[in-house]
Structures are given as C-alpha cells and as structure tokens.
Structure 1
Amino acid sequence: MKFARFLSLLLIAALAFASIGLVVAQDDEGEGVTITLAGWSSSPAEDEALQAAIDDFMAETGINVEWQINTDHNVQMQTAFASGDYPEVFYIDSSKLPEWATAGVVAVGEDNIEDQEGFFPALLDIFTFEGTLYCPPKDFSTMALQYNKDLFDAAGLDYPTADWTWDDLRAAAEALTDEEAGIVGLVTPPELPRFLPFLYQAGGAIFDEEGNYVFDSDETRQALEYYISFALDGIGGAPSVVDAGWGGEAFGTGRAAMAMEGNWVIKYLLDNFPDLNWGVTELPQGPAGRATMAFTVCYGVAADNDHPEESWALVNYLTGEEGARRVAEASFGPMPARTAAAEVYLDSWAERAAGTGLDPADLEAFVTGADYGKPWVLPPGWSAWADAFNATLQRAFAGEATVDDIIFETSLVA
C-alpha cells in the first residue's frame, strides 16, 4: 500500500512538472496573464493586421493582450507614467525615447531583443540611448523626392535621379515654377524635420558626437540660405502658398512639381490622386554627401512591469520575421524594420499601384534611405528650441528674418 501510494504521488508530481509549460502564462490564481499594448491607429488595414498578429500570439502562448488605441498617445502615456500605472508594452516614437528612458519608465532591451542582426542597423542605433539599446523598431519611414512626370515632360526636363545635387534641384524648381498657373517647383515646409536633411547634407549638425551644441556653423548657414532661397525666390515655399495643408496635398493637386515627403505619402496619393503620373527618387546630394531623415517607432516594455517575460515575448513576436511580413503587406507607407521583408514590401506596392501613374520600382528610394537616414530625435527638454527654430524659419520665408536671426533666436533656448 505504501509503495502504491508512493507511485501515485510520484505520478502526480510528474504530471505537475509536465504541465509547467502549459501554465507559464498564468498568475498565482491560475488565471491567464493579461498585458496591455498601447499605441495609435495608423490605418484600418494596419489595425487589422496588428490585431490578427495579436490574436495569433494569444492563441500560441495563452497570454492575453489588450490592444489600447490612444487618440493622443504621448499625452496619455505621460499621464499614465505620472500615475505609476501604465501599459506593459507601448509605442515609443524615436523623438520621445531620450525623455522616457531618462525618466526610467522604459525597460532596457539589449539581450531581451531577439535576432538583432535582422534589423536595419541604423534603426537599432536610433533606439540606442547613451550606449543602451532599449527597444526594437516597429517600422520606419524615410524622406525622398517625389516628382510630377507630366510637369517635367511639359518643361522638357529629364526626371530626377539619385545622382542629383543641390544645383540640379534648384535649377529644376526654377524651370518648373509657373506663376500664372499657380505652380511652384518645390514645396518646402518651414519646419525642422524637412530642413534637417539639408543641414546634414551640408555637413552640419545640431550636436556633435560628444553632445556639444554646434548649430552655429558655416554649414548651418549654407543649408539655411539654400533652403530659404526657394521661398524668397518664389520657386518654392510652404504648402499654404498653393492653398494646401501639407506637402502631399500640394503635390497631389499638381500645384507643386516636386515634394519631399516620407513614404506615408504613397497610399495618400494612390487613394486620392490615382491618375497622378509621378515618380520617386532619393533626395539630392549636398556638399557633404547624402542624408535623409528616418522616422521610426519601437515597441517599448515598461520598466515597472509585473510581467516582463510575457511583454518581451509579445514584442519579439511582433518584430520577428513574420511580424515584419505583416507590416510589409498591410502598410500604408512605413516600411518593415527587417531587411528580409524589404522585397515583400516592394512587391505589395506593385500590386496596389497597378493601373496608377506610379512605377512601384521607384519606391526602392525609400528603402535605400535606411542606409544613411538620420534619426528624428532631440534631447529631453529641447522642444522649445524646435519651436524657436520653426517660428523664426517661417519669418525668414516671409523675408522678415535672416539666417543669423535663426541661429541667434535658437541659441537663446539652447
């Protein structure tokens, strides 16, 4: 009897041990662990693809995930951080990482992030703050040059290429501007993100590698003079000069022969201006070479987190090769962060652009930009600097401020 009882206990123990793998996602009460993923809605197609990925993750792991769509993500997250009760996983725009990492609300990624070799290296660099990798990229966008083929044909101009320089861009803008028709050669929004590629192309920067403020430089002056000249000479300017709300609209309506938008513009143009005959190439090279901006978002994990393992499991699932494929197929423009999914991304647009005026092969320019894209990020507390820059640049476009005024006004809040 004692031996039989011993065998029974041994069998119970063995069954309990074998079932450990089935309950890893259960808390002490035996209920399934639930984590929250907070972000924002990009498009119905992307929302559907993300929800499908979440559903598959829950089915495979037993971990419950609540998808929280924020209408004002950064503000809502700041409120949640202040309360001490915030989602286990959340979107982090590259511009917010320094601030949130400094605040201690983002867990360190490093070895928790799987298959790091598969990401575009520049994107991992963007989410590395003070030598620490915090989170894997979700997707990304780069800026490129869009051009209206019909307007180029009418002007007898060759289409832009990746070999174009600043001189080529300006000459084309002059030739394409038609004051009577209300067309400008190039739409040049007076804002920091659109100006920054030109600063980097000139060899300038806001900070050097040691973090010193170096905006007051000859390179900055050269880039500012070039960018402002389009507005002052009437061959470019803000979208409002052609009665548009943003660069994509100015270009889509045919009132701007060229624009410098990110790949978020693709679906917008295909949906709203399907007959537009347009192309895309890389931004022109400046005196110091190539540069564009890389706008990207990562999946961050909460530092104050009762379920870190489950959180990282979700993040790695969404940013793995299958997750990247889903992004590629459902994207409204932003590209998957893994190099292996780039071809799937381009193929998906080949199908969606069929019958329109876009050659989908041109979209390779956005992907190529990942090789030399600069991060859209400022240190914590520098929003006042960006505001001062934008305000003075707008005055410069109207002829009410000079390049030196921009450098001086921004230095006051640097």
Structure 2
Amino acid sequence: MLLRPARTLAAATMLLGLPALANETVRISGWGGSEVAIVNGLLTDVLAEKLAKEGITVKYEPVDGEFSQFIINGLSAGTAPDLFYVDIFWARSVFSAGQALPVTQDVSGFAANLVGAFTYEGKLYAIPKDFNTLAVHFNKDIFDDAGVAYPSDGDTWKTLQEKLVAVHEALPEVDGLCLVPEYARFGAFALSTGWTPFDSRGRTMLDQRFRRAFEFYTGLVKSGAAVLAADAGQSWAGGCLASERAAIAIEGAWIISALRDSAPNMNLGTVRMPKDPESGKRGISSLRSAGPSTRPPRSARLLQRSPSS
C-alpha cells in the first residue's frame, strides 16, 4: 500500500490540543511512495502553526521498503517511531507483546467491526484508518496488443489464469501478474472457497479448501501466469502494472492515485475479483489498516495526557 496524505494528516492531528511540552519531537512513520512531498507539505504548511503552539515538532519518516519489518525491528531495538501505522495482519503481535499503548481518544464514531480489529484483551491499541476491497486492475492496451480478452466480472480463477498465460505467451516481456506472497492478497482466494481461518476452539484451520486455494495462488508462477514482484524488481503489484511489467494488479482503490502519478496515460480497467470455480463465490477481500499506534515510554506523555473529546 502507498501512503496517502490523509493518513499522516490524521496521525499528526492526534497531537493537536495536547498540553504544551517544550522541545518535544514526535516521529511519525508510514508507507512511502510518490506522495511523500505532499505529506511533507501538509505537515509544513497546514499543521505547522498549530503544532508549534503545542510545543510539538513532527518528524515524518516514510518507509519505501518492507514497512512491517521496519516497525517490528525498530520496536525490538528501541528505535521505532512514536506514531506509526499497523495492518491487521501483524498488529496483534505488536499489541500482545506490550509494544503499543492503548488509545485514549473517543472512537465512538467509528464502525464497531473496524474498532474490534484493533482491540486486544478489551483495549483498543490503534485507530481505524481505512478499509478497502481488492479488485483486478488491468492495462487495456496490453490485452489489446496481446489479442486477449479483458478480465471480466464473470472470470473464475481458471479463466483469469488462462488469460494471463495467453498475455505472457503473446508478449514474453510482460507477465500476467506480479505476485506478492502474503495473506493480504492470498486470503481473498482462500475465503472464497468457504474456508474459515479458525475452528470453534480457536485452532487454525488448514483444510482441503485452504490447500486448494494455496496451490492455485502459488501455482500461478509455475503456470506462467505470474512472476514474484521481488523478482521483477518491485515491492508491490501496482509497481509492476505502472511499469507495464505486468498486465494486471490485484490491489485496492489506493492504486488509482498511485497510477495517476506514475502512469497517468494508462488505459485502465477494473473488474471484481475472480470467482472460485467450485464455490462460485468471491472472497471477502477487504484490507484494513490503522494508525497510529504508539510505543512507550516517550510518546506516553503525549497520548495519555490527550483530552478525550
């Protein structure tokens, strides 16, 4: 995911209205990307005066590489930012280790299921930022050049895979999809089979439905339909689509603004996720992130003294 200006704006505005603390510097970190200059502009031009009145200096540190690893390593070493974004797929490991402070702000205006995603043992540790739905975004010109039909809402796993293989065979320099080996993308396929992550006793379920989805997803590379994003020199599927290395990308709506900056002339199409050919269903493919979380002890002086209004 790419950093959106609203994310850092939300993080920074949490600091407003706090008791003035002399020479207090707060480090904020989020995903990097093409909008870093815009985010810096928000902090410098929009919020600077208000933050100065509170005696707070914000240091923004975008991360272009593996963000979760950066945060986890920083927490272990004691060098993590004071405010940072977390994703539901790894947030609990941070919360359960006591590496984040509970949120004290009023969150009654947020949807309960989003708040619940970042609640651990009855305490909320992060404020929901957004949620989104995965979709298949594709470059129409690549499919036209390859003479292959566009992806459609009626595609199944099999028919989409066949289209991607056909594109690669017609245009060897283009891969069908840049694959990212993570649950955030694979999970949509597994859930569409009817698989549930846990049984009634809370144990992980790796049943035949999960295995079938896993074999399909990991088999995309072997079939010629995909390449690993890292092997294409990219950290996410959107980078492959923007550079025309891949014909499609499975991403949320955040890819739109990224492509507007990096590939403004792309003839872009978007369709829903493909259906599982056996169940006929699509996965529950929402991604939810949150921010910010905080690490003790220094940031505790800020957030624990924050008014709850």
Q: By the TM > 0.5 criterion, same fold?
A: yes
Higher helix share: 1
Counterpart residue number, 1:235: 225
1:154-206 superposed Cα distances (whole Å, 9 cap, x missing partner): 53625523x54324423432443325543333333344443222122222354
Q: Point out where structure 2 has 5 or more consecutive residues left out of the alignment.
A: 1-16, 64-69
Residues of 2 paired with 1:282 and 1:120: CA distance? 24
Q: Identity across aligned pairs (percent)?
A: 22
Alignment match of 1:124 (pick from 115, 119, 133): 115
What TM-score results when the alignment is normalised by the length of structure 1?
0.55
Name the SS for the 2:213 alignment partner: helix
Higher strand share: 2
1:316-362 superposed Cα distances (whole Å, 9 cap, x missing partner): 8xxxxxxxxxxxxxxxxxxxxxxxxxxxxxxxxxxxxxxxxxxxxxx
Residues of 2 paired with 1:240 and 1:103: CA distance? 30
Counterpart residue number, 1:292: 285
Residue type matched to 1:258 in 2?
A: I
Matched, 1:259 2:249: yes
Counterpart residue number, 2:190: 199
Residues of 2 paired with 1:190 and 1:64: CA distance? 43
Residues of 2 paired with 1:268 and 1:209: CA distance? 41
Alignment match of 1:103 (pick from 72, 97, 105): 97
Greater Rg, structure 1 or structure 2? 1
Residue type matched to 1:55 in 2?
A: A
Alignment match of 2:175 (pick from 154, 176, 184): 184
Name the SS for the 1:289 alignment partner: coil
Q: Point out where structure 1 has 5 or more consecutive residues left out of the alignment.
A: 1-22, 317-414
Moved more, 136-145 or 227-236: 136-145
Change (3 A) 1:173 1:311: same
1:375-404 superposed Cα distances (whole Å, 9 cap, x missing partner): xxxxxxxxxxxxxxxxxxxxxxxxxxxxxx
Counterpart residue number, 2:265: 275
Change (3 A) 1:75 1:186: closer
Q: Alignment RMSD, CA only? A: 3.6
Counterpart residue number, 1:78: 76
1:82-112 superposed Cα distances (whole Å, 9 cap, x missing partner): xxxx87x511412443233223343333xx3
Name the SS for the 1:300 alignment partner: strand
Residue type matched to 1:151 in 2?
A: I
1 or 2 for the larger relative contact order (CA 8 Å, sep ≥6)? 2
What TM-score results when the alignment is normalised by the length of structure 2?
0.71
Residues of 1 paired with 2:205 and 2:96: CA distance? 23
1:286-343 superposed Cα distances (whole Å, 9 cap, x missing partner): 3353322515131124564334454466xx8xxxxxxxxxxxxxxxxxxxxxxxxxxx
Name the SS for the 1:68 alignment partner: strand
Name the SS for the 1:224 alignment partner: helix
* Contact residue 35 and residue 307 of structure 1 kept, 8 A: no
* Contact residue 147 and residue 160 of structure 1 kept, 8 A: no
Matched, 1:90 2:83: yes
Query: Aligned pair count?
Result: 275
